[in-house]
Structure 1
Amino acid sequence: MFGSRADLQRVRRPNEHHRVTFIELFFDLVFVFGITQLSHALAAHLSLVGALETGLMFLAVWWAWIYTCWFTNWLDPGRTPVRVLMLALMLAGLVLSISVPRAFEDYGLKFAVAYVCMQAGRSLFMLWALRRHNPGNYRNFQRVVSWQILTAVLWVAGGLSHDGFRLVFWGMAILTDMAVVMIGFWTPWLGRSTTADWNVEGAHMAERCALFVIIALGESILVTGKTVAELQATPGVMIAFAAAFLGSVSMWWIYFDTAAERASRSFVTTTDSGRMAVSAYTYVHLPLVAGIVVTAVGDELALAHPDGRTEAKVAAVLLAGPALYLFGDLLFRRATAAPFPRSHIGGLAALAVLAPVSLTLSPALLSAAVALVLAGVAASEAIWLRRARARATA
């Protein structure tokens, strides 16, 4: 039933795109819940410390997901052993997501153990699957496991700690997890990997990351709908509702109208797919997705209290979410050799202009102004593209 280990690797044929499988989409359902939990955690702890804690948990959730994206890029999810592991990872991911709201309280060890089980379990499976069948990638995962043993100690130590020590241990752990990729998982005696060693099927990874953006946008729609359903239809609520919807549509348009497809084509044709997978998708998608999560929190706050003057922390969230998103999308376009997005610079400048007057506006009006900025960026992108196509066909 389980077949040989050689059968677990994807067969790579020239110009063939590995479609995203149903088990991968099923796996992603856990992260719909995880993103929702992160949004609720930030909304409930809207402070500098709360933002740091939520940001750290967001990095852990993203890192657990993106490593699985790499995993299914190399191994075939249609094979039973891979599929069974995906289901086990789903269970650990569900525990991870359940633990988010109380990860810095009494669920710290649950969060840490779930994360370590996902990362180490997946990497050990890769060693088993690749041994004698892919020496280069097998050596790469020896390096990966070596580093994950170190960070596992930090994660568990953080889970057992209290007060600020948990934040320190987990901060060291996630920063190490992120930094070692940039140094090719350098390990004594084993050396380091290069991006040329990481043979990535570009279209598959691009599609997987685009689907994660959809997950994050879907979470924002979910939060908006749930919040509005519990409120009376006052003018302030209706303005905030329209702004939240317009903002979500604009963010979808900015990423999916041209950027995602153009980046995928660039990914497929690049001579160093590993480098693009690391830069444009593993790292650069972080601020982009974080921006969607923070924007969803801002929408929820504006809907809950649409009238009166905006508090400083609410204004910060309403402005920071779209700014993170535009900055992330700008970096994404540059990392995939797209033309420099001047519209994004204009959008970031407009958000900066809004900042000094944000405390004089109501949350609903500030939310509407921010949504109009995002809509302006999306519209200018569409107009520029139409003109570029007209010049190309002239």
Structure 2
Amino acid sequence: MGQETIATAPAARRRMTPRDVAESFRTATPLELLFDLCFVVAIAQSAAGLHHALASGHVGDGLLSYAMTFFAIWWAWMNFSWFASAYDTDDVPYRIAAMVQITGALILAAGIPRAFEQRDFSIAVLGYVVMRTALVANWLRAAASDPEGRGTALRYAVGVTLVEAAWVVMLTIPSGIRLWAWLFLACADLSVPVWAERRHRTAWHPRHIAERYGLFTLIVLGESILAATLAVQGALDAEQAGAGLYGVAAGGLLIVFSMWWLYFAKPAHRFLTSNRAAFLWGYGHYLVFGSAAAVGAGLSAAVDDATGHFHGGAIARGAVVTVPVAVFLLAVWWLQHRPHQVSLSHKVLVPGAAVLVLAGTFTPVPVPATGVVLAVVVTIAVLVARRESAAARSQLTVTP
């Protein structure tokens, strides 16, 4: 569908009718890829804010601001992706709505530094409102074009609008209770899809959704590599390179390569068979995406430590990398590996690795140690998978 021209697209598609949930060769479109690419800016801003907070020793404030800003990025991306999976018409109004959402993402990105430094979320909320307003327009259009799904589309439009207005009101309340208001509104935002799809499921495509999440994971991992690369480059330009810096660079590469390997080790679309499974899997990716981007911030802070510019405590110097890596491992294991009913060795391998990674916090070289642990885990996982595959083939051969 993404390759059809606007002029030749069927009239039914231009009416924003739902797509076939079993559609063959359903893949990400060029517009979706552009959408993801533009979201890199917001992710980079959020990760950079976390990096500066970690390096300056303001861990608590940095983590809180990071969790809040990354939630807005993730949730806006997620809503666009699931809507596109069900109603992507690729016509002029749809493309314009997507570009408005991209504009909102860039406004959000522009407001992230202010959110970190001054706890001023006005610009970030403005960008969020722009994105959500375009989403509401899409849902209203879907309600007008899809009689069977009209109730669901209208509930989405109403729910998103009400919560969007509440986000704006949040800016006017005293700062002392704003955090509690944020938590309430985040829960309200998360509940909209659950409420909207109680009676009628939208026509999202399992393979398409799995691919979209995989692509966004690649983008977040790429952001981690970029953040670490820029940090190393800055240290080299300042002629502050040493053994510690090279250890961070090597360990960081092992970490990111292993994270990629473990995430894509098991296909996800096979168990996305219901809204219940899809909601848990989709919402759980907040931890996957957030921790992956935080690894980049942690690696940048580790470079600061190797060059004498880190102002956190002794434990923090290792935890800035080991904690997000451990969160990533546990989230990927729970969401991607566990549903496949893997063997006992697979069930304990990744959680055990997360424990070892956390233990590496207290070593003199936490980043290289984490990289080695992950590389060993990947090696064991590959060997176990080969053994299980050979055993399965052997059983099929001897079965009469």
Same fold (TM over 0.5): yes
Q: What is the rounded CA distance, in whole Å, between the counterparts of 2:193 and 2:87 in structure 1?
A: 20
1:315 aligns with 2:318: yes
Question: Could you tell me which of 219, 222, 242 is aligned with 2:226?
Answer: 222
CA contact 1:322–1:374 (8 Å) conserved in 2: no
TM superposition shift of 1:143: 1.9
- In structure 2, the partner of 1:231 is 235
- In structure 2, the partner of 1:89 is 101
1:263 aligns with 2:271: no
Instruction: Give aligned pairs, total.
Output: 371
Q: What is the rounded CA distance, in whole Å, between the counterparts of 2:123 and 2:214 in structure 1?
A: 29
1:7 aligns with 2:15: yes
Determine helix, strand or coil for the equivalent of 1:74.
helix
CA contact 1:42–1:51 (8 Å) conserved in 2: yes
CA contact 1:60–1:115 (8 Å) conserved in 2: yes
Cα deviation code 1:146-183 (max 9, x no counterpart): 3323322331133345644443332221122123444x
Determine helix, strand or coil for the equivalent of 2:340.
coil
CA contact 2:232–2:249 (8 Å) conserved in 1: yes
Q: What is the rounded CA distance, in whole Å, between the counterparts of 1:383 and 1:314 in structure 2?
A: 33
- In structure 2, the partner of 1:30 is 38
Q: Which amino acid aligns with 1:92?
A: G
Q: Which amino acid aligns with 2:71?
A: L
Question: Could you tell me which of 117, 126, 132 is aligned with 2:139?
Answer: 126
Determine helix, strand or coil for the equivalent of 2:15.
helix
1:111-260 equivalence runs, <5 A: 111-131=124-144, 133-161=145-173, 163-182=175-194, 184-185=195-196, 193-194=198-199, 197-232=201-236, 233-256=241-264, 258-259=265-266
- In structure 2, the partner of 1:354 is 360
Cα deviation code 1:86-129 (max 9, x no counterpart): 11111111101111111253752221122122123212322123
Q: What is the rounded CA distance, in whole Å, between the counterparts of 1:125 and 1:266 in structure 2?
A: 28
Cα deviation code 1:56-96 (max 9, x no counterpart): 11111100000000111112252221111111111111101
Q: Which amino acid aligns with 1:248?
A: V
- In structure 1, the partner of 2:79 is 67
Q: What is the rounded CA distance, in whole Å, between the counterparts of 2:165 and 2:180 in structure 1?
A: 13
Q: What is the rounded CA distance, in whole Å, between the counterparts of 2:65 and 2:284 in structure 1?
A: 20
Q: What is the rounded CA distance, in whole Å, between the counterparts of 1:279 and 1:118 in structure 2?
A: 23
Determine helix, strand or coil for the equivalent of 2:25.
coil
Determine helix, strand or coil for the equivalent of 2:90.
coil
Determine helix, strand or coil for the equivalent of 2:228.
helix
Residues 146 and 36 (structure 1), Cα distance of their counterparts in 2 relative to 1, 3 Å cut = same
Q: Which moved more, 1:41-50 or 1:241-250?
A: 41-50
CA contact 1:6–1:130 (8 Å) conserved in 2: no
1:276 aligns with 2:277: yes
Residues 254 and 14 (structure 1), Cα distance of their counterparts in 2 relative to 1, 3 Å cut = closer
Q: What is the rounded CA distance, in whole Å, between the counterparts of 1:37 and 1:103 in structure 2?
A: 11
Residues 8 and 305 (structure 1), Cα distance of their counterparts in 2 relative to 1, 3 Å cut = same
Residues 49 and 383 (structure 1), Cα distance of their counterparts in 2 relative to 1, 3 Å cut = same
TM superposition shift of 1:304: 1.8
CA contact 2:170–2:182 (8 Å) conserved in 1: yes
Q: What is the rounded CA distance, in whole Å, between the counterparts of 1:314 and 1:338 in structure 2?
A: 37
- In structure 2, the partner of 1:342 is 348
Determine helix, strand or coil for the equivalent of 2:135.
helix
Cα deviation code 1:31-58 (max 9, x no counterpart): 1111111111112223212211210111
Question: Could you tell me which of 38, 52, 61 is aligned with 1:44?
Answer: 52
Q: What is the rounded CA distance, in whole Å, between the counterparts of 2:339 and 2:44 in structure 1?
A: 29
CA contact 1:247–1:374 (8 Å) conserved in 2: yes
CA contact 1:108–1:160 (8 Å) conserved in 2: no
Cα deviation code 1:205-264 (max 9, x no counterpart): 1100000000100101111111111113321111111111111101011112x22xx222
Percent identity of paired positions between Structure 1 and Structure 2? 26
Gaps of 5+ in 1: 186-191
TM superposition shift of 1:5: 7.3
Q: What is the rounded CA distance, in whole Å, between the counterparts of 2:174 and 2:62 in structure 1?
A: 15
Q: What is the rounded CA distance, in whole Å, between the counterparts of 1:331 and 1:144 in structure 2?
A: 28
Q: What is the rounded CA distance, in whole Å, between the counterparts of 1:145 and 1:10 in structure 2?
A: 16
TM superposition shift of 1:136: 4.1
Q: What is the rounded CA distance, in whole Å, between the counterparts of 1:288 and 1:106 in structure 2?
A: 25
TM superposition shift of 1:390: 1.2
1:103 aligns with 2:115: yes
Residues 227 and 255 (structure 1), Cα distance of their counterparts in 2 relative to 1, 3 Å cut = same
Residues 314 and 147 (structure 1), Cα distance of their counterparts in 2 relative to 1, 3 Å cut = farther
Q: What is the rounded CA distance, in whole Å, between the counterparts of 1:49 and 1:179 in structure 2?
A: 27
CA contact 2:167–2:185 (8 Å) conserved in 1: yes
